[in-house]
């Protein structure tokens, strides 16, 4: 028997239960991974509440982990027992051990420890595709990042700075503004109390920014649109404040013939070639020191309820891991 954090119905954090599960032996094409660390992500909250449908319940939550392959099933190529591996976007990570196919697994390079790997795969690969594919940031760009002190936000800010951008980061408190500055933000805006678009136009001499990386959704859509320069990119990649439900494409016209993308990491890592490229670029950024993974919270896996409550109440900063 192993233990896992599962839900039997969608709802609040207390719906998650620490339960015995029978993992069993790997089937055809599968491996059994013993987790050493698990990443906490905001998508876990969307899946727990039912904003994102995860199919049949009960289900083990969690989309990111690191660990060691304990056992390999038939017809598995490229992975053997003893490999140190990590993954993102595969439901079932909140567990001491799990079965999974190898499609989303990558080997962890020697220069990266398991805790860092578990903290960085989902948030770091997201930052990678946002900065290199969704809107390819150019040196000299001044860009806007929402929730700049959060998990994705701190990685985005550091990496954008490394690429030569000037970074404006929106945050929820003065304390988070300091963290965002440490992560490379040149300017910070307290979006709960300040006029974001006004500040952005002041900072950019009236030009606006070519891109807003917006993970907040409902609460910030207008601020993002109003902050963009003509033909700028509104990259709406999350819904921390709730989903955008009433979007009229005419708003893109009115704010200067803007582009909008609603991306997901799954698209940008949809096959082995893309996954290796995105993960490889992230590993290089971390091993070289261009990006640091700031693990600011660590909880026992059994205390995932508290971890969710803290993330939901905006008390976490940087990355968070759960230890089985
Ligand atoms: P974070 O660590 O960034 O936590 C979310 C942050 O959002 C909070 O700390 C808070 O920062 C801010 N926030 C603003 N309004 C609210 C609200 N009403 N309730 C809660 N938080 C709020 O989480 P992650 O780094 O895990 O994820 C960041 C975002 O990126 C999420 O929206 C997530 O869904 C999205 N994402 C999207 C992916 C994709 O491919 N599309 C992949 C990965 C993440 P503050 O107090 O500073 O406002």
Model confidence band, residue 161 (pLDDT cutoffs 50, 70, 90):
very high
Cβ–ligand 1 contact at 153 (below 6 Å): yes
Per-residue H/E/C for 191-208: CCCCCHHHHHHHHCCCCC
Residue 100's pLDDT is what? 98
Q: Residue 79 C-alpha to ligand 1 middle, in angstroms? A: 33
Q: What is the pLDDT of residues 46-99, one digit of tens each?
A: 999 999 999 999 999 999 999 999 999 999 999 999 999 999 999 999 999 999
- In this predicted structure, the answer to whether residue 1 has a pLDDT above a threshold of 90 is no
Give the mean pLDDT of 190-206. Answer: 98
Give the mean pLDDT of 20-42. Answer: 98
Residue with the nearest Cα to atom 9 of ligand 1?
A: 314
**Nearest of 224, 228, 253, 265 to residue 141 by alpha carbon:** 228
Choice from 148, 314, 319, 321 to test ligand 1 binding pocket (greatest atom count within 8 A of CB): 314
Cβ–ligand 1 contact at 159 (below 6 Å): no
291 — phi, psi (to 5°)? -125, 130
Q: Residue 153 to residues 62, 279, 316: CA-CA distances in angstroms? A: 20, 18, 12
Residue 40 alpha carbon, nearest atom of ligand 1: 26
Model confidence band, residue 300 (pLDDT cutoffs 50, 70, 90):
very high
Cβ–ligand 1 contact at 208 (below 6 Å): no
Q: Residue 150 C-alpha to ligand 1 middle, in angstroms? A: 7
Rounded Cα distance between 114 and 300, Å, is: 15
Determine what percent of the chain is predicted with pLDDT higher than 70: 100
The pTM (predicted TM-score) of the whole model is 0.98
Q: What is the pLDDT of residues 21-30, one digit of tens each?
A: 999 999 999 9
Determine what percent of the chain is predicted with pLDDT higher than 90: 99
Q: What is the pLDDT of residues 217-238, one digit of tens each?
A: 999 999 999 999 999 999 999 9
Q: What is the pLDDT of residues 181-196, one digit of tens each?
A: 999 999 999 999 999 9
Q: What is the pLDDT of residues 302-311, one digit of tens each?
A: 999 999 999 9
Give the mean pLDDT of 136-140. Answer: 98
Cβ–ligand 1 contact at 309 (below 6 Å): no
Residue 240 alpha carbon, nearest atom of ligand 1: 32
Rounded Cα distance between 169 and 171, Å, is: 6
Residue 211: strand pairing partners = 233
Cβ–ligand 1 contact at 125 (below 6 Å): no
């Amino acid at each position: 028997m192993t233990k896992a954090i599962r839900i039997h119905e969608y709802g609040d954090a207390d719906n998650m239960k620490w339960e015995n599960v029978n993992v069993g032996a790997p089937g055809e094409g599968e491996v059994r991974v013993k987790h050493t660390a698990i990443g906490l992500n905001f998508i876990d909250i969307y899946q727990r509440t039912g904003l994102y449908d995860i199919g049949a319940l009960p289900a083990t939550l969690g989309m990111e982990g690191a660990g060691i392959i304990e056992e390999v099933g038939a017809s598995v190529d490229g992975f053997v027992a003893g490999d140190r591996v990590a993954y993102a976007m595969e439901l079932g990570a909140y567990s001491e051990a799990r079965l999974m196919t190898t499609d989303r697994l990558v080997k962890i390079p020697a220069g990266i420890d398991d805790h860092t790997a578990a903290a960085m795969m989902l948030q770091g690969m997201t930052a990678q595709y946002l900065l290199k594919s969704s809107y390819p940031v150019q040196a000299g760009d001044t860009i806007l990042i929402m929730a700049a002190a959060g998990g994705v936000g701190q990685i985005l800010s550091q990496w954008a700075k490394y690429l030569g951008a000037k970074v404006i980061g929106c945050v929820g408190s003065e304390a988070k503004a300091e963290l965002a500055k440490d992560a490379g933000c040149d300017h910070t805006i307290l979006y709960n109390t300040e006029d974001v678009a006004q500040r952005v136009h002041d900072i950019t001499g009236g030009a606006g920014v070519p891109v807003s990386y917006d993970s907040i959704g409902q609460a910030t859509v207008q601020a993002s649109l109003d902050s963009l320069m003509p033909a700028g990119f509104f990259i709406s990649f999350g819904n921390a404040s709730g989903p955008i439900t009433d979007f009229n494409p005419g708003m893109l016209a009115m704010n200067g013939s803007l582009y909008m993308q609603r991306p997901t990491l799954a698209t940008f890592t949809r096959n082995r070639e893309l996954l290796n490229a995105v993960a490889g670029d992230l590993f290089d950024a971390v091993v070289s020191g261009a990006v640091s993974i700031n693990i600011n919270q660590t909880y026992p896996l059994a205390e995932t309820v508290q971890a969710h409550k803290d993330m939901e109440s905006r008390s976490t900063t940087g990355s968070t891991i759960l230890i089985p």
